[in-house]
Structure 1
Amino acid sequence: MAQLVELPDIKFVEDDANKVFLEMVAVFQGFTGRTLNRADPEMLALRAFAQLIIQQRVLINKVAKGELLRYAKGIVLDYLGDPETPRLQAEPAITTERFTLSIPLVTPQIIPAGTRIAPEGAEGSILFATKTAATIPAGVTTADVLIECLTPGVIGNGFLPGQLTTLIDPLPFVASVTNQTTTAGGADTEDDDSYRERIRMAPESFSTAGPEEGYEYWAKSASAAIVDVAAVSESPGEVTVVPLLEGGQIPTQAVLDAVAAKVNGRRIRPLTDRVTVQAPEAAPYDIDLTYYIDSDRAAELAVIQSAVDAAVEAYKLWQRSKLGRDVNPSELIWRVMSAGSLRVAVRAPMFMDVSQLQVAQEANVNVVFGGLADD
């Protein structure tokens, strides 16, 4: 990720109220040859006009800053990225669904494209469907088919294996359906911060030499669900690209295939590079801590406990949301202390190095309230 240069806040026109008012008074006195006193009616009129001018100048500054990449938002950011770097649109979650027949058939069984499946109890609020038609050969009872959520976005993520079991469109001889993997890959429309970073990285994509940020740019362009990418070369001509999904999820094979197709494009990959796309390796760590609350804040006990739980959850998300982020107990202590605890005794985690191709993921979590304590 490119590091931003520290720059002062920018103003295109002066919008300080006192300065604008004094400038107007000076101009008026210069034209009229009069010296105005504070109680003069002209002073009141000039102050009223100054307020209108200040509002216009504030608007000018806002609009002008919005045309700079660092400050641009919404549709203005889309114009800055057009046409080389369009904003990534919402994408559906995907998984592999297994169709099982009641008996082997003597003729092939067709599973049409668009066959709908839902999680049990969803009552039609969320549906998945087969992306393409599939065939169960004669004498075979099962077939695995790629399905995608009909509602793009993160809403389709997180259904565990065995939860998509309701066949909405009945098929003859199909006895059951079930997903084989956790649904993943769904992403909402790319937010401004992620989009701004991709636009900033776009010049790296113009190189035909295979720069690190070039591979990162193209990998992120494969899916709006990708929040981080590592591109490393441990030997000449060999490049490994590792994507990480939003929320620290390990990418599915379908996402890895999409990234591989993108970075191996004929106009993207240098002919001398052999590019491999793989999922990050999980680096497990435990959380085991006891926290105490100041006895003077006993009345806030429930609120602080809830804040501590939220702080631990935020830490887990922070830790797994970036490749190569070392496990840092100081960050955990800071978050729990900021939530209102008096002191924290952390038994785990210890500081742990995480390589660029790994992502830290929590394993066992044990957060204990140790009671009230005095300073």
Structure 2
Amino acid sequence: MSELKFIDTEAGPIRDGILEDLENGVGDPLYPGDERRIFGEALAQVVVAVYNSVNDACRQKMLRYARGDVLDALGENRDTARLDPTFATTTLRFGVNEAVSHNIIIPARLRVTGDFIHYFLTDQTVVLYAGQLFVEVGATAEKGGADYNDAAIGELSQIVDLSDVALIDYVTNTEPTGGGGDQETDEAYRERIREAENRLSTAGPEKAYRYWALSSSPIVTDAVVESETERISRTLKTYAGHAFQGGANLIPESLAVYLPGGSEAVDGTDYTASYDDELLTLTLSGSLAAADEVKIEITRNMYGRVKIVPICAGGELPDEDVLEAVRRVCSADDVRPLTDIVQVEAPQVELYDIELTYYTTKANESEVVKNVEGPDGAINRYIYWQGSALDQEINPDELRKLILCPHWIENPIGATRVIITKPEYKELPSTTVAKFSGNINVQHVVKD
């Protein structure tokens, strides 16, 4: 898509135009070093800056260039507000080393932290009753955002408002913190505004359900919507070398026919199939020519039953809270067509290993090793890319590209050659996400 300009901001023509007007005004040529020329060149820089500011302001009227508050205003025009950040949660345990003879009140909104930067507040007032050693209560992050996620068990161990619970000996979180999401980014928000018109349909199209799924939470970054299917198995009686299965929405490409011994029959040798007017017809031959019955399996579409599979930022699998949020939004009476049944599921996971050898020269060894195996290197970038989206095959060529050409840095130095044994290319169902198994074997070879 070409860059849109409302005003020409090329510095050269603007500068030349100003100098030409000055020369015409004073009636003399302006040579380098002439103070009038120096003034004109300085003025040109100011004009270019102003033109760029005006051009940027004009371009922000367009959705593809808008950002910040301007993008929020465009979203309001389509009744699509930016998603607010969500708050991470956990469970806190307050306890004493020895039981005491009186109750201890743990007030609501008591602050607990592990680093005195990220604070969690108790959700409600609870009581540690006399004779008991601990009590647990839910807690929510003080602010929204993903920064409050992934505090390990036991990390939240400091009571900030200690005077409110002076007799408590310790506090700890009994589960990792999670569920926090940043405010919707400009790019994600822009894409959702583009899709806003899809929500107006009442026919239940894929794009409408996807729009509402992405609107359910800022941590939901992708979703696959598809009609449910059902795999059916039937044993059919044969009539004069033919067998029949009626039914709408059968998928002929999914047909499997079996021989009496249980092995799969060969299309074109043991049978031929046709599907017309909602009737599947098998013409039997070869090993099935004399069969009294034949077993088949076939998949059919379950129109009216919608399956939505969301995935979260960074490829995180959605927990039950996220799934429930998507289910609630997509099943609302003003979203879901009356005849649809909506099911929301977490993605299936396909694990893959990494095993490779890459080559470099001695002069570039340290730089190449950093670019391939470092924290921001090709392997970690590939793992993130591969696991962050649905409807995406396992593609080792993407890993190969990142290793040979680390394009995210200036003057990239990549490996001279790479042999990738694992992963192997594999197509995945649209609702399956590929995740790194943790098994990795990477070697590098230095060649002069």
1:87 aligns with 2:82: yes
CA displacement at 1:176 relative to structure 2: 8.1
Match of 1:267 among 330, 334, 337: 334
Question: What per-residue deviation string (whole Å, max 9, x for no partner) do you get for residues 193-252 of structure 1?
Answer: 111111111111122222211111111111111111111112211111111111111111
Partners of 1:117 and 1:164 within 8 A in 2: no
Equivalent in the alignment of 2:425 = 351
CA distance in structure 2 between the partners assigned to 1:112 and 1:276 by the alignment:
39
1:197 aligns with 2:191: yes
CA displacement at 1:268 relative to structure 2: 1.3
Largest Rg, 1 or 2 = 2
Looking at secondary structure, tell me which structure has more strand per residue. 2
Higher RCO (Cα < 8 Å, 6 or more apart): 1
CA distance in structure 2 between the partners assigned to 1:280 and 1:171 by the alignment:
46
CA distance in structure 1 between the partners assigned to 2:125 and 2:140 by the alignment:
13
CA distance in structure 2 between the partners assigned to 1:220 and 1:296 by the alignment:
48
CA displacement at 1:149 relative to structure 2: 2.4
Question: What per-residue deviation string (whole Å, max 9, x for no partner) do you get for residues 255-301 of structure 1?
Answer: 1111211111221111111111111111111111122211342xxx3
1:254 aligns with 2:314: no
Q: With structure 1 as the length reference, what TM-score do the two structures score?
A: 0.78
Equivalent in the alignment of 1:4 = none
CA displacement at 1:67 relative to structure 2: 1.5
Equivalent in the alignment of 1:283 = 350
Equivalent in the alignment of 1:105 = none
| Counterpart residue identity of residue 307, structure 1 | N
1:154 aligns with 2:146: yes
| Counterpart residue identity of residue 308, structure 1 | V
Q: What pairs up with 1:46-125 in 2 under 5 angstroms?
A: 53-82=47-76, 84-95=79-90, 114=109, 122-125=114-117
1:341 aligns with 2:415: yes
Partners of 2:357 and 2:445 within 8 A in 1: no
Q: With structure 2 as the length reference, what TM-score do the two structures score?
A: 0.66
| Counterpart residue identity of residue 87, structure 1 | R
Q: What SS does structure 1 have at the residue aligned with 2:390?
A: coil
| Counterpart residue identity of residue 369, structure 2 | Q
* Number of corresponding residues: 352
Unpaired stretches in structure 1, ≥5 consecutive residues: 1-6, 103-108
CA distance in structure 2 between the partners assigned to 1:318 and 1:93 by the alignment:
25
Question: What per-residue deviation string (whole Å, max 9, x for no partner) do you get for residues 29-49 of structure 1?
Answer: 9x99x998677x9x9587776
CA distance in structure 1 between the partners assigned to 2:136 and 2:47 by the alignment:
67
| Counterpart residue identity of residue 150, structure 2 | G
Query: Bigger CA drift: 81-90 or 125-134?
Result: 125-134
| Counterpart residue identity of residue 436, structure 2 | E
CA distance in structure 1 between the partners assigned to 2:391 and 2:196 by the alignment:
23
Quick one: structure 1 residues 368 and 16, their matched pair in 2 at CA, closer, same or farther if it must change by over 3 Å?
A: closer
| Counterpart residue identity of residue 76, structure 2 | D
Q: What pairs up with 1:133-152 in 2 under 5 angstroms?
A: 147-152=139-144
CA displacement at 1:116 relative to structure 2: 5.6
CA displacement at 1:130 relative to structure 2: 4.7
Q: What SS does structure 1 have at the residue aligned with 2:217?
A: coil
Looking at secondary structure, tell me which structure has more helix per residue. 1
Equivalent in the alignment of 2:280 = none
Partners of 1:77 and 1:192 within 8 A in 2: yes
Q: What SS does structure 2 have at the residue aligned with 1:295?
A: coil
CA distance in structure 1 between the partners assigned to 2:213 and 2:87 by the alignment:
18
Question: What per-residue deviation string (whole Å, max 9, x for no partner) do you get for residues 110-151 of structure 1?
Answer: 987546665xxx254434345467899xxx999986543233
| Counterpart residue identity of residue 153, structure 1 | G
| Counterpart residue identity of residue 442, structure 2 | V
Quick one: structure 1 residues 133 and 243, their matched pair in 2 at CA, closer, same or farther if it must change by over 3 Å?
A: farther
Partners of 1:233 and 1:239 within 8 A in 2: yes
Partners of 2:314 and 2:388 within 8 A in 1: yes
CA distance in structure 1 between the partners assigned to 2:96 and 2:330 by the alignment:
39
1:372 aligns with 2:367: no
Quick one: structure 1 residues 176 and 60, their matched pair in 2 at CA, closer, same or farther if it must change by over 3 Å?
A: closer
Query: Bigger CA drift: 352-361 or 364-373?
Result: 364-373
Query: Bigger CA drift: 264-273 or 93-102?
Result: 93-102
Partners of 1:129 and 1:147 within 8 A in 2: yes
Partners of 1:134 and 1:145 within 8 A in 2: yes
Quick one: structure 1 residues 116 and 14, their matched pair in 2 at CA, closer, same or farther if it must change by over 3 Å?
A: closer
Query: Bigger CA drift: 362-371 or 140-149?
Result: 140-149
Quick one: structure 1 residues 351 and 11, their matched pair in 2 at CA, closer, same or farther if it must change by over 3 Å?
A: same
Q: What SS does structure 2 have at the residue aligned with 1:237?
A: strand
Quick one: structure 1 residues 78 and 35, their matched pair in 2 at CA, closer, same or farther if it must change by over 3 Å?
A: same
Partners of 1:280 and 1:358 within 8 A in 2: yes
Partners of 2:394 and 2:428 within 8 A in 1: yes
Equivalent in the alignment of 1:305 = 369
Q: What SS does structure 1 have at the residue aligned with 2:50?
A: helix
